[in-house]
Copies of this chain bind each other. A is one copy, B any other.
Amino acid sequence: MNPIRVTERSIGVNFSTRGEAEVLVWAPRANQVLMYLPDEEEKLNLIKREFGYWSCITTKAKLGDHYYFELDGEKYPDPASLFQPQGVDGPSKIVTLHTYSWADDSWTNIPLDEYIFYELHTGTFTEQGTFSGIEERLGYLKDLGINAIEIMPVAQFPGKRNWGYDGVFPFAVQNSYGGPIAFQSLIDRCHQLGIAVVLDVVYNHLGPEGNNLSCFGAYFTDKYKTPWGSAINFDDAECDAVRRYFIENALMWFRDFHVDALRLDAVHAIKDLSPVHILKELKQHVDKLIEESGRTHYLIAECDLNDVKYIQPVKQGGYGMDAQWVDEFHHALRVTAGNERRGYYEDFNGVLDLAKSFNDGYVFDGRYSEHRKKTFGTSTKELTGEKFIVFSQNHDQIGNRMMGERTSALVSFQMQKLMAACVLLSPYLPMLFMGEEYAEPNPFLYFVDHHNKELIQAVREGRRKEFSAFHQGESVPDPKGEQTFRQSMLTWDIQHKGKHAVMLDYYRHLIKWRKIVSWKRGNDGVEIKAYEEINVMVIRMNKNGHQFLYVMNFSSEQQRLEIESPKMNWVLLLNSDDSKWLGSSFGRPTQLPNSLIVPAESFLLFEAPHV
């Protein structure tokens, strides 16, 4: 094998400039590999190459043809298939990603520190459940003020309903979402509207159904355990080809789909003790691609290790991820907002930890964790705020509840507004989960559409067991049921009604304020103070000669707060308790000579007059 080329894909079926199909598949243990073209009633012989690869160059395999690989008589779809029109068990289809006519030439990406993320699930975002469904709603998102949509995984999964984490063809875009060309079209349209596209990709496991990779080579290793079974083989025998497979995959999304950033699912479950960690190697390839293409691409890790190594630059010995999700911000916020301290929440004490996360990103940066039963985390001192992505809810935090309740079903309308301010005015990159901006009442449930009966039974049983301790006697929504999926769809028609319309307007306002009043972490002149007894957090911040004051009251009662400013001549910029947002306040909150009365569950934003 040649070194990995960032300018083109090598595995699977690709076309030379002369229009010949170049076929390449890794099958180190096969004695014979054929390419079977049922449409042409043709079987082509592949030739064994170095390091277990097989290849041929042919004019017989044409665009639009279906194909399988036949390994010693057994036929399988292509592990690097670009399209599975009939699903995970059907043939692969020969397509090209190079004929789409892009209209986003002037797009080069948004600076990461300006990203405002909006996480969405293609299948439930719209009634259609497709990329073109999303396209129709881009105007709405643009109007909301977000500038980056983060799309849950689109790699081909079994059936029509899945969060995306059961994908088994990392290179193929889900047929029921519209396939690869529709995905290109969506991204193109986003770019024309100034919206970046973040794609969630899963490099820590593959789904259980339709997964034939082990028949090809050692894609998995039992050296390490993951929550989903055998780990992907990034450092054991035969790992070279596996590393190449995932690096080519990442590069494809950037290069051939114009994806702006990848969100790498659960990188803590990517086990790699090689001298060069696969994430670092990936980063080095992405840097080369950026150099060649002139466009910027980001790598964002979901990581629960609190290990700065992941987000430190490669030059400093890190893996070079551009940013990471900070679940601990979420946990601290939820506990502060009244969430019961059980499960992983037991580690969080409320507003003190929320202030810690506002200061340092990680709550655990070398502190003993009761939940983990060990000292946990590293110091983030050297890092800037755009390394951290925060949220008050996401697909996991919602969907991993038995009933899939969004925050809207768990806390008061008032508290939702306070939590939104926390996220959107934080010194980090904020992320919304689809629908939260208008307090979507529908749940986001866990759903799958597997076909293997035993697997379906195992998934059902797994969910039942997971919730049996805390939800005795309650019935778990059936993950396989279509109704479970349909219940999880957004209710678009309520956006303009009542409190939903109010919330939407409030979110729009917050996003606008973010550009004015948010600060960068590590800036001088920011002081964050938690008042544990009254569950209040206060932030003072200087920005461009302006002085801002954030007051966040998480308690369910109004609180009196001493303010050190003698004259109290602060100007109220935003009051989440304002009656226009269905709050209880009319005009300014009560100000006493040296103190302030803060309404229950409210967020206040003041500006001090210019000095």
- Chain A residues packing against B (C-beta within 8 Å): 51, 222-225, 235-240, 271, 273-276, 305-309, 316-317, 368, 372-375, 377-378
Contact = CB atoms under 8 A, between A and B. Distances in A.
A305 B375 contact: no
Nearest to A306: B275
Q: Interface centre among A238, A273, A275, A276, by most B CB within 10 Å?
A: A275
Nearest to A372: B237
Contacts of A239: 374
Contacts of A225: 222-223
Given A317-B317, A368-B51, A374 B273 contact: no
Given A223-B225, A239-B374, 8 more contacts: A222-B225, A223-B224, A237-B372, A238-B373, A238-B374, A275-B305, A275-B378, A316-B317
A308 B240 contact: no
Nearest to A366: B275
Contacts of A307: 274-275
B240 A377 contact: no
Given A223-B224, A223-B225, A275-B308, A240 B368 contact: yes
A240 B305 contact: no
Contacts of A309: 275
A226 to B, nearest CB: 10
Nearest to A237: B373
How many copies, total? Answer: 2
A457 B309 CA distance: 46
Nearest to A238: B373
The 6 A-B residue pairs whose C-beta atoms are closest, nearest first, are A317-B317, A237-B373, A275-B307, A275-B378, A239-B374, A238-B373
Contacts of A368: 51, 240
Nearest to A222: B225
Contacts of A305: 273, 275
Nearest to A318: B317
Nearest to A373: B237
A276 B271 CA distance: 16
A113 B276 CA distance: 29
Contacts of A273: 271, 273, 305
A158 B275 CA distance: 37
A388 to B, nearest CB: 16
Contacts of A235: 374
25 contacts: A51-B368, A222-B225, A223-B224, A223-B225, A224-B224, A235-B374, A236-B374, A237-B373, A237-B374, A238-B373, A238-B374, A239-B374, A240-B368, A240-B374, A240-B375, A273-B305, A274-B307, A275-B306, A275-B307, A275-B308, A275-B309, A275-B377, A276-B378, A316-B317, A317-B317
Nearest to A52: B373
Contacts of A373: 237-238
A225 B236 CA distance: 12
Contacts of A238: 373-374
A84 B468 CA distance: 49
Contacts of A224: 223-224
A308 to B, nearest CB: 7
Contacts of A378: 275-276
A213 to B, nearest CB: 17
A317 B314 CA distance: 11
A281 to B, nearest CB: 11
A236 B317 CA distance: 24
A275 B274 CA distance: 15
A513 to B, nearest CB: 36
A305 to B, nearest CB: 7
A373 B224 CA distance: 18
Contacts of A374: 235-240
Nearest to A221: B225
A145 B374 CA distance: 48
Contacts of A377: 275
A223 B224 CA distance: 6
Nearest to A236: B374
A378 to B, nearest CB: 4
Nearest to A316: B317
A530 B224 CA distance: 41
A422 B258 CA distance: 57
Contacts of A271: 273
A344 to B, nearest CB: 13
Nearest to A225: B223
Nearest to A272: B273
Contacts of A51: 368
Contacts of A222: 225
